[in-house]
Structure 1
Amino acid sequence: MNVKAEPVHAALETIPAESPGAPRGDDNSSLRADILEKLTYYVGKSTVTASDRDWFVAVALAVRDRVVDRWIASTKATYENGAKRVYYLSLEFLIGRLLFDALNNLQLTDPVRAALEELGVDLDRLRTVEPDAALGNGGLGRLAACYMESMATLGIPAYGYGIRYEHGLFRQALKNGWQQEYPEDWLSFGNPWEFERPEVVYAIGFGGTVEAEATSDVMVRSVWKPAEVIEAVAYDTTIVGWRGRHVNTLRLWSARASHPLRLDAFNLGDHVGAFADRMRAESISKILYPSDETPAGQELRFRQEYFFAAASLQDLVRRHMKVYGDIRTLHEKVAIQLNDTHPTIAIVELMRLMLDTYDIAWEEAWEITQKTFSYTNHTLLPEALESWPVPLIERLLPRHMQIIYLLNAFHLDAARSKNPGNDALLSSVSLIDESQGRRVRMGQLAFAASHRINGVSALHTDLMRQTVFRDLNTLLPGRIVNKTNGITFRRWLHQANPGLTKLLVEAIGPKILDDSMELEKLKPLADDAAFREKFLAVKRANKVALAKVIQEQIGIRVDPSSLFDVQIKRIHEYKRQLLNILETIALYDAIRAQPTRDWNHRVKIFAGKAAPSYHQAKLIIKLANDVARIVNSDPTVRDKLKVVFLPNYNVSLAEAIVPAADLSEQISTAGMEASGTGNMKLALNGALTIGTLDGANVEILENVGDDNIFIFGLKADEVEARRREGIDGTANISNSPILAEVIEAVESGVFSPGEPGRFGSLTNALRHHDYFMVTADFDAYYATQRRVGDKWRDTAAWGRSSILNVAGMGWFSSDRSIAEYAEDIWDVPVRY
């Protein structure tokens, strides 16, 4: 089907072709006037009655106006230039607070601060009023946010597509040390940054039947007739690039029932049942990652994934057709990046649209699909490489399952022709796993349908080729490439650490604000005693600020002169918070045994959430809090050791912790962390890393040097060799008196008086099923922590290494990552 192209302006949707009125001024008086106008006519408050929340909304709206001017210009230029667009599909976008993002990138922080001071309002106080957008779980969602900002910074026309979760990831509270989950009501007061698009609505079908309709004597078209239709409504948020030169769009979908209620049921007195269909539909965008322990929860997750993928595909195809009129040119003007396996069903949706709506022949449709899609793999964990039961897909998406069957048939025919008689290979590369109930392998599907499959660190990419995608890489060689993750320095240096940013500008010049590689000029200053003193003074100020946060949140006083030893990330056995806790107990025992020794003062800082159904991870949180309770109340220890677990870890809390960290815990089991980005954020802010040779730690080591990082433990190949020999930890424990004493203390109830068996599942795993090599790495970790303590005593040496960590982190900018994606995967130019 070849649809006649419409004029360019027809595709501009709700964005007008030109910005109305005169450009808005960025001087103090103009900003002050606009803020007052928003407060009066949009918020409906006077300066006398306005709360901090009211002032925040007024400021956000005044800033948003200035973003919109640039947004309109960027969108108009993209259409006029016929530029290729990138569409970034992600189930998570952990964007955090946006006010200072916009202010910083528009260079408006100081003018707005001054304008508010004239009105008697503190900008920094308003910062704390803004809720974190709860649209992600951790690194995956934060990476998506960094990449969206970098695409805007580099002038790459892009849309991010995801779900507008009403509650998002749960709010974590601690009750007697146990994690409790509550809904995160980040939208309860509205969201001044978003634009609802009630006119941008797509019908998303589920269930029903597939019928064959003859289009000619020899041609037959499949027609899917869904039994249920849900509406996807668009909400747009602007993503501002550095210095406001380009603005992109994050489009999030909210689910809505086609009809608000069943009026017949309501009139018959079934006032609750009348809303059942509405509740079922809207549940899709209620919460991020509903538990999949039940069949209903599993179905809801899959419905979420198809809902946002289908809406996004319909949206981008409609946009393409309005401008270019020919679906056959899609791959020339569109690049779709799948952020992990969650959006993989989009591949099948595009095939369905081309086959059933646009009458494209199968071979051509598949060629266009492969040239359009690329896939980022984020994990080697089998449970994280999604698969879905065939019966579930057949019931919810019958037409899509037909296409998957046919895709698999052609895929296996090609594999068989290249490897005749190799049934094991066919089983390995099949898109459908027949081993434990028939399941569609989304990772295999994403690989087969993408022209590029990228890992997110050098080690991870090599392991992809050797492990999970070994046979697919043999069958379809040359598709796997590496694109090491990066972070946006605008958020994690400029905003999170303004003191250090100011010092860097003074020391090496303002070009550092635009070019992260300028950090290399910092290296000679590591040996400058005067600069080290200024550098360490900034670090201490950040630690004082964090100490205040700790006091306010959990009531524990910590000494800013102590070594701040930080592990902040999702709670998971492979990330080995348990290893850190065991070493903490060993250190506690050593201090109690020799209380008069001149110990380094240390604060162990933990933060992170466990998945609601992940029992072992929740036990690890409980153990950390039980250890903290005992250690912090022991008068023998005093300030030599403190242990804190900060609840409800999110982007804003990370912005307080990262600049204050002295030691960065990156201690995952080697070969299991794809990359990590927390390691980059912490090192960028001067924390020294203690870690295994895992993920991007390998590349951090290469960039900062052996003397400025603490590496320990088994390597990835050694971990695999140990696992082949067996994962019983009994011998490791017997051969380590320190570890044996620690585990005995946990098992005997030292940290759980009255319930000695509380942590039995953790200690039993260590003894008999130590898959994550905690016991195997404990002694090396404990010894390395003593090296950390020795170096901490030498303030000059520590300061030098801290500065060299900052100096070596320029390469880890998300701008570099995105520039590599643009050149090697998307084939789009970088403008800035």
Structure 2
Amino acid sequence: MPTTSFDKDSIKASIIGKLQRYNGRTIEEASNGQIYRALASTVRDQIMQKWMISREERKTNNNKRLFYLSVEFLMGRSLYTNILNLVSLDAYKQALDELHIDVDKVLQEEPEPALGNGGLGRLAACFMDSLASLDLPAMGCSIRYEYGLFRQKIVDGQQVELPDYWLGNGNVWEMPVMEDACEVHFNGHVEMGNENGRTVFRHVGYNTVEAVPYDMPLVGYDTSTVNSLRLWSARAPKRIDLSDFNHGHYVQASEEKELAEAISNILYPEDNHYEGKLLRLKQQYFFTSATLQYILKDFKKLNGTNWSKLPEKVVIHINDTHPGLAIPELMRLLMDEEGLGWDEAQQIVSRTMAYTNHTIMAEALEKWPEDMVKSLLPRIYQILVEMNKRLCARLWNFFPGEAERVGRMAIIAYGYIHMANLCVAMTFSTNGVSKLHGDILKQETFHDFYLVMPEKFSAITNGITHRRWLMACNPELTKLICDTIGTDWVKDPELLHDLAPYADDAAFREQFEKIKHNNKVRLSNFLKEHQGAIVDPNFIFDAQSKRLHEYKRQMLNALHILVLYNRIVNDPNFTMRPRVFIFGSKAAPGYNRAKLIIRFINGLSALIAKHPRASKMLQVVFLENYDVSSAQLLIPATEISEQISTASKEASGTGNMKYMMNGAITIGTMDGANVEISEQVGMDNIYIFGMRSDTVLDMYRERNYNPMTIFETNQELRLALTQMIDGTVLPDAPSALQDLYHSLLIGDWGNMADPFFVLKDFGSYSMAQRRIDADYADRDKWNRMAVINTAMSGVFCSDRTIREYNDTIWHLDPLKRKV
């Protein structure tokens, strides 16, 4: 059996040899980029041996396997975490030191895979890390986006989107798997025929796109298991029309290629027009169809055509509604390609598919125009119609005479295909991602489904991988923890609770605080190099980093900053501990209000910087192009974690867990996993403010909230809101923020004003911030709170989450062989 560990000398020899063979360079001559590729391919060689063995073990044991379908996987850079999970950090460090290689500069050469946007994709990445580390056989499945979401540039305070061509110099970790390439068919029509007395359906006249898989290894920590992330790339069957080209029609000659490959160009193409919606639908069907074709091909190799065994060997997890077309596609493949009848196929499908809901936001519960689906996916549409017919018949028996209620639960209703209804109705499991979210799904969002099929519903609180979000991003704190309580917590992170007694140890708190300061210095250096921002590490570091959305309430944070600015400017006796507010957010390209919030935040930054007194106590930094790598610097440096979404809107959150694990203290609403964080750390070690979720839901039902009364009675808020539109914040464009102002006070298009209760919760938020300022001055108290947050964070590790998923939903057996 080949060795799966490399020593210092073999690592050195490999790097030197690769530079000579592939670049004709010595170590001294090589660029950092060339050294990166030599180092990464050395690590890949080590992984390949394990990957090969893992595949053979899975096939030999014929274990049940999870296929985790997600439109996003926000992986982050892989080089350091792969070395970490191979438990080879010391060997590689010694080798690189002896070769006089600057590790930090080489690590920066790795491109950040642009395969995700926010929490959904980062959660999927954490899950993949934990699945491999727990020896559970799994494959993540998504799209190989060539240009990702976008690269964010801030120009004159405004977001500008640029292509993120992360594959420009190749991806050392991926391997094309051409033998698994397949065809995906669009458009055309369906013909019905008869074969041996059986009705058959043939999809004809279709357009073909080739799906080409690229696999990336997912390395488990200190184990032999290496799973795969499979990313599908779209390709035209005909690369160029030579006849058109030779007649001088150069654009037309490659038109088919460009149209096909657009499918895997961009994550979340703008969908405020028909073509954008159509492209998103194509993307979702493309990768689900390709994945399911591979799943059935792989099943047949190991089990033949005994399809009744499929649920025993395969579980397919739909991560939010985006991969929901996997449900009718599996029906199509089993019936049209494998010859099963409807009842048999549906029984298999409903025992194989599971669904996680990640949001109660109406706009995120996807629905597709019925005519679009009918035209683009004619056979899938037929299957959806039949599914809907059978579902509605069942619902009518449960709710006789309640047509409107049945219509709300239907898969097809009012001209739309409702993907959340499809996912809940046709899978064997539907789970929320925190206790609160699970309750809201049962009591509000899917209440009627819960009445009909309660056995499907569960709640499993999200988690994060401590390997990346503590061990990789905060090595100093990791060493302190190991020196203090030993190393058993590395494989059992809930043992972090053994740190709790050290919250009362003055010497430990002093070391803990010193590490936090070092991380603040590291972040300050990065901000200066990255975007020229000069930040004093002696300021309090307060961070809010998450996707820009109104319900996440970056607006609440920004309004409070403007109020603080006014207090400083208008009251010469007012003082506060100097604080820098750091924002890291991307706004969807078509989400104009979110982009205005970014402009507002950057306007505040400029306003404060110009004022000699305010700038000594306040600073605002917008971290440009926030991604996993910058998060790994921001989170360990942060002291105050802003988790301030409107209660009931955040399904769970995972940023709250990352900050907590690194010793930041949360200011937040009782929303998502904040509820469980407060239970773990106790109310003395978190700052909770604002309305609770039941109050918020009642206010939505009653619709009697009038933010204008707050505007009229709260002088500080009235001044701040007026400054948004009088030229104070944006002197060169005084009216630019009118939409934000009106949305808070008047509403638009008949909708309620301030729909996320920014003004309603402002007073409570402001008081919590006053408590923070006072408590931070007591260093012993603050550091004790910080230690408690780290100590109680182990329960939020994704290893615990994955064990719960496996016990409750998947029922996978671990691969047997260990290192």
Q: State the TM-score, normalized to the length of structure 2.
A: 0.97
Distance in 2 between residues matched to 1:292 and 1:728, nearest whole Å:
32
SS in 1 for 2:177: strand
Match of 1:203 among 160, 183, 206: 183
Whether 1:125 aligns to 2:102 is no
Comparing 532-541 with 711-720, greater Cα deviation is found at 711-720
* Per-residue deviation, 1:596: 5.0
Match of 2:439 among 447, 459, 462: 462
Instruction: Provide the residue aligned with 1:307 in structure 2.
Output: 286
| Kept in 2: contact 1:664–1:679 (CA 8 A) | yes
Instruction: Provide the residue aligned with 1:8 in structure 2.
Output: none
| Kept in 1: contact 2:239–2:257 (CA 8 A) | yes
* Per-residue deviation, 1:449: 1.2
* Superposition CA RMSD, Å: 1.2
| Kept in 2: contact 1:687–1:805 (CA 8 A) | yes
**Counterpart AA for 2:545:** I
Instruction: Provide the residue aligned with 1:577 in structure 2.
Output: 554
**Counterpart AA for 1:825:** I
Whether 1:535 aligns to 2:515 is no
* Per-residue deviation, 1:754: 3.6
Distance 1:162 1:346, change over 3 A: same
* Per-residue deviation, 1:140: 0.3
Written as runs of structure 1 = structure 2, the 5 A alignment for 1:646-685 is: 646-685=623-662
Distance in 1 between residues matched to 2:355 and 2:198, nearest whole Å:
34
| Kept in 1: contact 2:568–2:575 (CA 8 A) | no
* Per-residue deviation, 1:48: 3.6
Instruction: Provide the residue aligned with 2:129 in structure 1.
Output: 149
Comparing 33-42 with 566-575, greater Cα deviation is found at 33-42
Instruction: Provide the residue aligned with 1:397 in structure 2.
Output: 377
* Per-residue deviation, 1:747: 2.1
SS in 2 for 1:242: coil
**Counterpart AA for 2:745:** R
Written as runs of structure 1 = structure 2, the 5 A alignment for 1:551-562 is: 551-562=528-539
1:599-642 Cα offsets, whole Å, 9 max, x none, are: 21101001110000000000000000000001012112232111
Distance in 2 between residues matched to 1:44 and 1:651, nearest whole Å:
33
Match of 2:785 among 798, 801, 809: 801
Instruction: Provide the residue aligned with 2:496 in structure 1.
Output: 519
| Kept in 2: contact 1:822–1:830 (CA 8 A) | no
Match of 1:787 among 754, 771, 792: 771
Whether 1:293 aligns to 2:272 is yes
SS in 1 for 2:483: helix
Match of 2:343 among 339, 363, 376: 363
**Counterpart AA for 2:742:** N
Distance in 2 between residues matched to 1:743 and 1:597, nearest whole Å:
21
| Kept in 2: contact 1:708–1:804 (CA 8 A) | yes
| Kept in 2: contact 1:93–1:141 (CA 8 A) | yes
**Counterpart AA for 1:131:** P
**Counterpart AA for 1:354:** L
* Per-residue deviation, 1:425: 2.1
Instruction: Provide the residue aligned with 1:243 in structure 2.
Output: 222
Distance in 2 between residues matched to 1:351 and 1:727, nearest whole Å:
47
| Kept in 2: contact 1:205–1:227 (CA 8 A) | yes
Whether 1:627 aligns to 2:611 is no
**Counterpart AA for 1:648:** N
* Per-residue deviation, 1:43: 4.2
Whether 1:751 aligns to 2:725 is no
SS in 2 for 1:236: strand
Distance in 2 between residues matched to 1:429 and 1:423, nearest whole Å:
10
Instruction: Provide the residue aligned with 1:259 in structure 2.
Output: 238
Distance in 2 between residues matched to 1:489 and 1:211, nearest whole Å:
53
**Counterpart AA for 1:158:** A
Q: State the TM-score, normalized to the length of structure 1.
A: 0.96
Distance in 2 between residues matched to 1:327 and 1:252, nearest whole Å:
26
Instruction: Provide the residue aligned with 1:352 in structure 2.
Output: 332
SS in 2 for 1:829: coil
Q: Give the gaps of 5 or more residues in structure 2.
A: 747-752
SS in 2 for 1:742: helix
Distance in 1 between residues matched to 2:134 and 2:698, nearest whole Å:
44
Whether 1:735 aligns to 2:713 is yes
SS in 2 for 1:690: strand
* Per-residue deviation, 1:40: 2.0
Aligned length: 808
Whether 1:775 aligns to 2:755 is no
Distance in 2 between residues matched to 1:171 and 1:683, nearest whole Å:
28
Distance 1:745 1:830, change over 3 A: same
**Counterpart AA for 2:257:** R
Instruction: Provide the residue aligned with 1:7 in structure 2.
Output: none
Distance in 2 between residues matched to 1:595 and 1:103, nearest whole Å:
54
SS in 2 for 1:686: coil
Instruction: Provide the residue aligned with 2:749 in structure 1.
Output: none
Match of 2:150 among 170, 173, 177: 170
| Kept in 2: contact 1:237–1:250 (CA 8 A) | yes
Instruction: Provide the residue aligned with 1:5 in structure 2.
Output: none
Distance in 2 between residues matched to 1:43 and 1:685, nearest whole Å:
41
Instruction: Provide the residue aligned with 1:275 in structure 2.
Output: 254
Distance 1:595 1:246, change over 3 A: farther
Distance in 2 between residues matched to 1:128 and 1:727, nearest whole Å:
50
1:404-449 Cα offsets, whole Å, 9 max, x none, are: 0000111111111222212122112110121xxx010000001111
Distance in 1 between residues matched to 2:57 and 2:487, nearest whole Å:
29
| Kept in 1: contact 2:567–2:574 (CA 8 A) | no
Instruction: Provide the residue aligned with 2:799 in structure 1.
Output: 815
Distance in 2 between residues matched to 1:350 and 1:124, nearest whole Å:
46
1:212-244 Cα offsets, whole Å, 9 max, x none, are: 12112x311111124200000010100001114
Comparing 682-691 with 102-111, greater Cα deviation is found at 102-111
Distance in 1 between residues matched to 2:88 and 2:205, nearest whole Å:
50
Give the fraction of aligned pairs with identical amino acids, expressed as a percent. Answer: 42
Whether 1:761 aligns to 2:739 is yes
| Kept in 2: contact 1:67–1:244 (CA 8 A) | no
Written as runs of structure 1 = structure 2, the 5 A alignment for 1:31-46 is: 31-46=11-26
| Kept in 1: contact 2:356–2:431 (CA 8 A) | yes
**Counterpart AA for 2:669:** T
Q: Give the gaps of 5 or more residues in structure 1.
A: 1-18
SS in 2 for 1:683: helix
Distance in 1 between residues matched to 2:519 and 2:407, nearest whole Å:
55
SS in 1 for 2:455: coil
Distance 1:45 1:226, change over 3 A: farther
Distance in 2 between residues matched to 1:407 and 1:695, nearest whole Å:
33
| Kept in 2: contact 1:670–1:716 (CA 8 A) | yes
Written as runs of structure 1 = structure 2, the 5 A alignment for 1:704-723 is: 704-723=681-700
* Per-residue deviation, 1:727: 4.1
| Kept in 2: contact 1:208–1:398 (CA 8 A) | yes
Distance in 2 between residues matched to 1:549 and 1:389, nearest whole Å:
46
| Kept in 2: contact 1:43–1:57 (CA 8 A) | no
